[in-house]
Amino acid sequence: MADLLVTGGAGFIGANFVRYWRAAHPNDRVIVLDALTYAGNPASLEGDDGRPVSTLIHGDICTPGLAESLLREHRIDTVVHFAAESHVDRSIHGPDAFLETNVRGTHELLKAARAAWLDGAWTGGPVRFHHVSTDEVYGSLEPDDRPFQETSPYAPNSPYAATKAASDHLVRAYHHTYGLPVTTSNCSNNYGPYQFPEKLIPLSLVNALGGKPMPIYGDGMNVRDWLYVGDHCRAIDRVLSDGRVGAVYSVGGRNEWTNIAVVRLLCRLLDGAFGADAGLAARFPDAPPARGRQTSTLITFVRDRPGHDRRYAIDADRIGLELGFRPSESFETGLERTVAWYLANERWWRAVMDGSYREWTERQYGATAG
């Protein structure tokens, strides 16, 4: 039995992870620490009965002493660190928050873990600090380059990627210098339920349902390696269970797609969903298939993202060979599940889009950041 502190557990991957963990390890205790920025949504942690699936502590990882007191008070033996500013476009327009949370916040957590676990007073069993990171720390690939692997040199290009790279180095240094038992995973692009509609897939989806343009940056030929979020959660579980302390694991879907191909597949899935369910046209009257048109008519090429990385791809051999991890969803099945989830959970994304979830969160949890 383990006692987990999940930072950023009200965000996209964190919430999926908490839900996954509660189902896979029902005897473990899970506590979420989340600052509830614009990206954190307590509704993502509601079970089918409307009750929270875990305890949620509203707090900032940057607050000195907070994490240490939580580790001691709740006898936490496992930290799974998701909390971050995660959107590349936001990091281009306002990098400061990224430095604060991704670098200083990660360092506060590492100091907390070191103080609580390594000062001689820890009487519990084995401990672990797992750091959730990204393939973006390795920069951009040319079309014929081999995919990134654990030994690829760091070459972050956006402020977001640079701060995640810095956090990876801090985690590594705390292991090397102080012996903190850490693992790190660097994962490719995730998609699935509860993703904030600022990222490519959910943004395209909700825009299409509202009859709004689906923006494609530049020529649409940038490539990402997509992994269903549930598969990422299983990968982290494998690393927590059997990963080597101090090791880094690359996680990806062996699933490279150009952005334009992703959006075209999404359009076909939406056209199919409207064809199969006549009720959708009444619910989403502005969506093209409700008016006898194809969703792809909304695709709109827009100005490129500054410094836009051309291609990411992950060589996931290490986690496959050492830990037996393989993705279980293909892109087609994962995207179909994602479309079905957004169609069935309109209340969740409407509240995110119109901001009403923020008012609700502030009433429940007090003033929020971001």
Token output for 224? 């990402």
State which residue, 310 or 358, has the beta carbon closest to ligand DAU.
310
What SS3 state is found at 195? coil
Closest CA to 298 of 214, 194, 181, 175: 214
> How many CB atoms are closer than 10 A to CB 121?
9
300 with 263: CB under 8 angstroms? no
What phi, psi does 356 have (nearest 5°)?
A: -70, -25
Nearest residue to ligand DAU, using CB?
134
Q: Is 50 left (phi over 0), alpha (psi -120 to 50) or beta?
A: left
- Toward ligand DAU, which CB reaches closer, 25 or 87? 87
We find the least distance from the C-beta atom of residue 134 to ligand DAU, in angstroms, to be 3
Round to whole Å and give the CA distance between 269 and 264. Answer: 9
**Residue 215 binds which one of ligand NAD, ligand DAU, none, with CB within 5 to 8 A depending on kind?**
ligand DAU
DSSP 103-155: IIIHHHHHHHHHHHHHSS---SS--EEEEEEEGGGG----TTSPPB-TTSPP-
Q: Is 190 in the site for ligand NAD (CB under 6 A)?
A: yes
The reply to whether 82 sits near ligand NAD by the rule CB under 6 A is: yes
Q: Does position 29 bind ligand DAU by CB under 6 A?
A: no
Whose tokens are 């060589």? That residue is 315
Residue from 312, 331, 348, 365 touching ligand DAU (CB under 6 A): that is: 312
Cβ of residue 132: shortest distance to ligand DAU, in angstroms? 9
Active site annotation includes 160: yes
Asked whether position 36 contacts ligand NAD by CB under 6 A, the answer is yes
Instruction: Kindly write out the interface string for residues 125-164 of this chain, putting x where it contacts ligand DAU by CB under 6 A and - elsewhere.
Output: ---------xxx----------------------------
Please provide the DSSP assignment of 19-78 as one string: HHHHHH-TTSEEEEEE---TT--GGGGB-TTSSBSSEEEE--TTSTTHHHHHHHHTT--E
Q: How many CA atoms lie within 13 A of 179 on its CB side?
A: 5
DSSP letter assigned to residue 50: S
Q: Which of 164, 234, 264, 318 is the binder for ligand NAD (CB under 6 A)?
A: 164
Residue 330 to residues 24, 273, 308, 337: CA-CA distances in angstroms?
A: 21, 18, 26, 11
Q: Is 78 in the site for ligand NAD (CB under 6 A)?
A: no
Q: Decide: is 11 part of the binding site for ligand NAD (CB under 6 A).
A: yes
Residue 327 gets which letter from DSSP?
Answer: -
Binder among 105, 139, 156, 202 for ligand NAD (CB under 6 A): 105
The β-bridge partners of 250 are 186
Query: Residues 14, 193, 252, 334: which binds ligand NAD (CB under 6 A)?
Result: 14
Q: Is 42 in the site for ligand NAD (CB under 6 A)?
A: no
Q: Which two tokens stand for residue 110?
A: 């590492």
Closest approach, Cβ 222 to ligand DAU, in A, equals: 4
145 is catalytic: no
Q: From the CB of 87, what's the least distance to ligand DAU, in Å? A: 5
Helix, strand, or coil here: 258? strand
Q: Given 136, 168, 225, 256, which residue is catalytic?
A: 136
135 is known as an active-site residue = yes
Q: Minimum distance between the CB of residue 333 and ligand DAU, rounded to whole angstroms?
A: 20
Which residues contribute to the site for ligand DAU (CB under 6 A)?
Answer: 86-88, 134-136, 188-189, 199-200, 203, 215-217, 222, 224, 259, 305, 312
Which residues contribute to the site for ligand NAD (CB under 6 A)?
Answer: 7-8, 10-14, 34-37, 39-40, 60-62, 82-86, 101, 105, 132, 134, 164, 187, 189-190, 196
Q: Which residues are catalytic?
A: 135-136, 160
